[in-house]
Amino acid sequence: MVEEARGRVTAIPVYAKLSSPHFHTAAMDGFAVRSRDTFGAGPDSPILLEIGLNAWPINTGLPIPDSTDAVIMIENVNFLNEVAFEIEKALVPWENVRRVGEDFVASEMILPARHVVTAYEQGALLSGGIYHLQVIEKPRVLLIPTGSELVAPDSLESGDPAPGRVVEFNTIILSGLVENVGGAAVRHPIVPDQFDLIKDAILAGVRSDFHLVVVNAGSSAGSEDYTAAAIRELGEVLVHGVAMMPGKPTILGVVEDKPVIGNPGYPVSSILSFEVFGLPVLEAMQGLPSHCRPTITALTARKIPSKLGREEFFRVKLGKVGDRVIAAPLPRGAGSITTLTRADGIIRIPARTEGIEQAALVKVELLRPSEAIDRTVVIIGSHDLTLDLLADELIPHNLFLSSSHVGSLGGLLALKKRTAHIATSHLLDVKTGLYNWSYIRKYIGDIPVKVIHGVMREQGFIVLKGNPKSIGGFEDLIREDVTFINRQAGAGTRVLLDYHLELAGIDPQQVKGYQMEEYTHTSVAVAVLSGVADVGMGVLAAARALGLDFLPVATEQYDLVIPEEFMNDEKMVTLLEVIRTPAFKKRVLALGGYGVERTGDEIPEPTTM
């Protein structure tokens, strides 16, 4: 049925069976007439027509009577009585008539074969007398999740997976990808890491009516990776291991003439490998060309090293700063699904290169529409949890936030390199007790900027609930039984730490863990929670979010540094309006440890420095 054909693929070319329109159709409301009866009509020589005699009332879309060949618009007749009217303008033949076949003619091709039907085209098909359509069968894919550590999400109605257990979601993502290219996916129950069970599942799949079987995962060299062995025993392994990263341990095989894919287990590997090897198979089965993501050209925000000998897929954040699109690489961990969900695009670094220099022009495959990139404000600098709230508040304004956490100093340097719209910074000048301005002048020179106050926030020690190591002050950081977790050089929090260590006369080298660096407040908190360290410095909100204790050390000033050239940009104006709203401030206060009295105020440059 054509009614259900949207998104389906035509199996053969479709030719109109009926012309459109298939009868001479009134294009206006009025009266159908013979045009020759109107010849000679003019303002000084009106012609009289009579309903039923030589004029027939008609509405748009209806067939004109056989003998007629034009329609007088209702607006252009002057009624003399109920049945007779005058006209003051002649009609040419076929005026205000949609003639048979005006749109298309029976026998013309409406759609070629192997074409994805749109809603518009359903209309064209129906108006061409096509009520049933021969479409290509949806390729059916069996997705087999394997792994003894896996638990199905629907088995977790209450509570989280036990320690050591992981929620299986790769096949849910793959289902979506399969459906996005017009396939139909079935998720097999989780198969534990047992050779026979995996083998049985593959065999049952290929012997059923599936067109493709995907085993996820068990495709690398671990002691319990049975997929390759199972495929080999049942059929043939064509490829085991591909020169892409993530995605290296991919297996391509054939069992009983059906393709079987052994997909890698890390979520990012699983997705990228399936997009490279699985989706094109499904597209080819439907006679469709392989989908290519749209691309844009961007400038790399920093150097991206890559290993020779494999194609590396880098996830990047994108933002348009001035007239240049900037690509900032995200972490490369294949286990981190958010490196894909947060990504705006993917850079492929060819196998034969060792990486890409900073400020190089690169082709980026877009994961989001380029319009969304244009609507993105790029923030680089110090991390704060209020940035998440800000991102959420900007959505209704059709604005997006891309924030990269590289520390305050990194943010200022990004402004200098013109790779960000805003730097977030809380750099204390210990000589003056003032924040940011002296660093701005030192690191970004004479680029004119405004400083807009963000929030005041409490910094302190983050420790386990109950403070089991009884940490009370900076002097405790040099205790033998205390491990500290630090922030990276250039982070405002690290400047604050160093300042206080100096005040206390402590040599940083005495602090165990001073070399261990994290990039965000929450990472510091999680290092404490998971026993990597006993104490770290960070904001109250990070401690509170993870149920940790917090010992205040100082209140500091967290600001937005914005080049003047962006201040009048509509996106920036909206963003600054949003942070000044009571609604935003209220949400910030609810996090705890923040002050918003002066949020949104401009902080002028001090006159003497």
Minimum gap (Å) between residue 398 Cβ and a copy of itself:
4
Report how far apart, in Å, the C-alpha atoms of 277 and of each of 38, 236, 496 are. 69, 17, 50
Please say which residue, 203 or 535, places its beta carbon nearer to a copy of itself: 535
Tokens of 535: 């104490």
Minimum CB separation from a copy of itself for residue 478, in Å? Answer: 19
Q: Which two tokens stand for residue 317?
A: 């954040």
Q: At residue 268, what are phi and psi to the nearest 5 degrees?
A: -70, -40
In the complex with a copy of itself, the residue whose CB is nearer, 19 or 376, is 19
123 versus 468: smaller Cβ distance to a copy of itself: 123
Task: Classify residue 160 as exposed, middle or buried by CB count within 10 Å of its CB (0-12, 13-18, 19+).
Answer: exposed
Query: Of the two residues 294 and 472, which places its CB atom closer to a copy of itself in the complex?
Result: 294
The 8-class DSSP code of residue 276 comes to: I
Q: Do residues 594 and 541 make contact, with C-beta atoms less than 8 angstroms apart? A: yes
For a copy of itself, give the closer residue by CB, 154 or 196.
154
As measured in angstroms, the least distance from the Cβ of 338 to a copy of itself is 5
CB of 598 to a copy of itself, least distance (A): 25
Helix, strand, coil share of the chain (percent; to 5): 30, 30, 40
Q: How far apart are CA 50 and CA 464, in angstroms?
A: 96
CB of 466 to a copy of itself, least distance (A): 19
C-alpha span between 249 and 251 (Å, rounded): 7
**88 CB neighbour count, 10 Å cutoff:** 15
Rounded CA-CA distance 54/31 in Å is: 9
On the 0-12 / 13-18 / 19+ scale of CB atoms within 10 A, 243 is exposed
Least Å distance, CB 339 to a copy of itself, is 8
**Which two three-digit tokens encode residue 260?**
């079987």
Nearer Cβ to a copy of itself (338/358): 338
- If the CB atoms of residues 35 and 557 are measured against a copy of itself, the closer one turns out to be 35
Least distance in angstroms from the C-beta of 497 to a copy of itself? 20
Distance CA 9, CA 98 (A): 31
CA atoms within 13 A on the CB side of 27: 13
Minimum CB separation from a copy of itself for residue 235, in Å?
Answer: 25
CA distance 281 to 271: 15
Measured from the CB atom, is 59 or 432 closer to a copy of itself? 59
